[in-house]
Amino acid sequence: MKTFLSLLLDESIKTKAFMFKNWIMAKRNLFTLFEILFWPSISFLSVGLLAEFVNLQPRMRAFILVGVVSMSTVQVCQLDVAYALLYDVWSKALKHGFIAPVGTRHLLMGSLFVGILRGGLVFITLMAASYIIFDFNFTSPGILAIGLFVLGLFLSASMIGILVSILVLTIGNRAEVAAWSLVSLMLLICGIYYPVSILPYWIVVFAKLLPITYFLEYYRGFYGFEPTFSHVLLKGYTAVIAYLFLEVYLMKVALKRAKRKGILLKLSE
Amino acid sequence: MEFAVEVKDLCKTFSSGWFRKRKKEALKGIDLIVPVGAMWGILGPNGAGKTTLLSILSNLLTPEQGEVRILGLDFRTNGNEIRKRINLSSGHANFLWSMSVQENLKYYAMLYGLSGKSLNSKIETVMDMFSLKDFARVRFEELSTGTKQKLSLAKALINEPELLFLDEPTVGLDPDVTNRIRDIIKYLHQEKKITILITTHNMKEAEFLCEEVAFIINGSIKAKGSPQDLKEKLHLGDTILIDFKGLIPAAALKAMDGIYDIQIHNSSCKITVDNHRKRLAQILEFFTTQNIMMSHIHIKESDLEDVFISFTR
């Protein structure tokens, strides 16, 4: 029993270490403040005002606003997961973390927690702004629906963040661009401002592979948009959990490869 | 005898370029045994393979061939256990730029599972040891090079390692800070009984710190032993320079024990001996009995620098 408790304590301290790092770095750097305030506000206001200008019906405006709020939330949350490695890469201090007795689970869980905190802040801020500025009630589907939707977004964000980390461990510094571009590409495919049904059929194939597609369809369903796919919530969660398991495994493989190829050292020089 | 490091037939090749066709053999069949409690130096020129070796030993790099045991544990199957008991500090220290000295230490202490009072007391101890208290709240990016290096050493002691790897710990530091860091390293070894493996291309540093050294050149260990053993092995003796008046019977002088070489030029004689402490008295007696007047005596001890030059030539 004592061994189990001490093991649990050890796990939580190591996870907290990565939370601590991401939290301090987020607090101290201006660009991280821009990420949660400036860029989400800009995209929210510009898209929201455009919707006003073209005089969209409330239903259509709901479609657009759900998209823009989701995009900013996912973007901010996934960045924190990617930052777990990128902060060390930028500091050239990657080897110090990997010489310590920690696993990828600590790194991912710790950074995801801060990502959820920052992403959650963006979500709540934009949800409130939607109501105040554009008279759009984000909470009308109910607490459970919001909870399931937001959890889906966070899990999808961590999926993207881990993918960025895998790329960093595989191809090094060049992969950092993925931290900003990968999410935009995915959001383009999953129908952030439009239903996926309008996309060419071969892009719909890719959209079907992305869990965010299903989560967006799920939430928009509450505003009168019939989902293109069936069982969206089940499909979304099944896909995102499967991807997360696969990615955690791939990250371990990538780490082993990085140790074999010397990438870990190159990223610390 | 217990061993901190046991390495057998260690090989590492790096590939680069298109289709990974360009190969560089960084380590070629390294054998090395370091006993527990020792302070060993890995010496060699830039690009010799020192950092590669240390990186493999500290579990940051995987070799394609060879056996490695750290503190008696196989590094392929006990990576996590080994990482709890070792640590590494490198020259040109780099840490998270926005975090203060204290925060950096806290972060790394937590990675080793420290929390609460034990975490705070450990941070206090290492900050005291390296006089870092005045910089506790200073961000890493604002520290001087010397203080950054002290932080690197402080971080390396945060888990009270049994085996410490130091990769060129004084590179780029001014002489004053260099000396202080060398004193601390010596203290860690002598008082804290930490086994230390240090890489350097500074021969004076190796001579000051290490009991045994291994010369690594082009990925192979060319020689190992104590600095004195290596000098003797290479016949890199001490030099005794004597200005004199008279006639030296060179053949008789050369026949004496421990004399490697004699060069006489006008009124100056350069005698190379195995150890000047052992040979000076008998040489002076020889000069006196031969009625040779000596006006000036100068002694130059050979050092690892000479050994280094001899190997890299």
Distance from C-alpha of B149 to C-alpha of B161, rounded to nearest angstrom: 18
What does the pLDDT read at residue B45?
A: 83
> What letter represents residue B189's amino acid?
H
CB of A78 closer than 8 Å to CB of A154? no
pLDDT at A146: 96
**Is A100 an interface residue toward B (CB < 8 Å)?**
yes
Q: What is the pLDDT of residues B188-234, one digit of tens each?
A: 999 989 999 999 877 778 888 999 999 898 899 988 888 778 777 77
pLDDT in tens, A100-131: 999 999 999 999 999 999 999 999 999 999 99
User: Which chain A residues are within 8 Å of B115, Cβ to Cβ?
Assistant: 9, 13, 16
Could you give all domains of chain B from N- to C-terminal order, each with its CATH number? 3-225 (3.40.50.300), 236-303 (3.30.70.100)
Residue B233 burial (CB count, 10 A): 11
pLDDT tens figures, B6-65:
999 999 998 877 777 788 889 999 999 999 999 999 988 888 899 999 999 999 999 999
Are residues A259 and B60, on separate chains, in Cβ contact within 8 Å? yes
Q: Does the beta-carbon distance from B107 to A21 stay under 8 Å?
A: yes
pLDDT of residue A200: 92
pLDDT at B181 over 80: yes
- Whole-angstrom Cα distance, residue A51 to residue A57? 9
Interface contact A264-B111, CB threshold 8 A: no
Tens of pLDDT along B238-270? 889 999 988 888 888 888 888 888 989 888 999
φ, ψ of residue B22 to 5 degrees: the values are: -80, 120
Yes or no, beta carbons of A91 and B97 under 8 Å apart: yes
Quick one: which H or E segment has residue B198? strand B195-200
Kindly tell me if the per-residue pLDDT of A1 is higher than 70. Answer: no
What's the confidence (pLDDT) of residue A229? 87
CA distances from B7 to B3, B10, B72, B73, B74 (A): 10, 7, 11, 12, 10
Residue linked to tokens 């890493």: B140
Shortest CA distance from B93: residue in chain A: A93
Average pLDDT over residues A80-93: 92
Measure CB to CB from residue B111 to each of A29, A102, A262 and give the nearest one: A102
Q: For the ranges B129-133, B167-171, B199-203, B222-226, which has the lowest average pLDDT?
A: B199-203
- How open is the CA angle A241-A242-A243, to the nearest 5 degrees? 90
Site of tokens 């030993």:
B57
Would you state the structure tokens that stand for residue A214, as one six-digit string?
Answer: 């299903």
| Interface predicted TM-score of the whole assembly (ipTM), two decimals | 0.90
Average pLDDT taken over every residue of chain B: 89
For residues A115 and B49, what is the distance between their CA atoms, to the nearest angstrom? Answer: 40
What is the structure's pLDDT at A209?
94
Per-residue pLDDT, B11: 94
pLDDT at B313: 67
Mean predicted confidence (pLDDT) in A171-175: 86
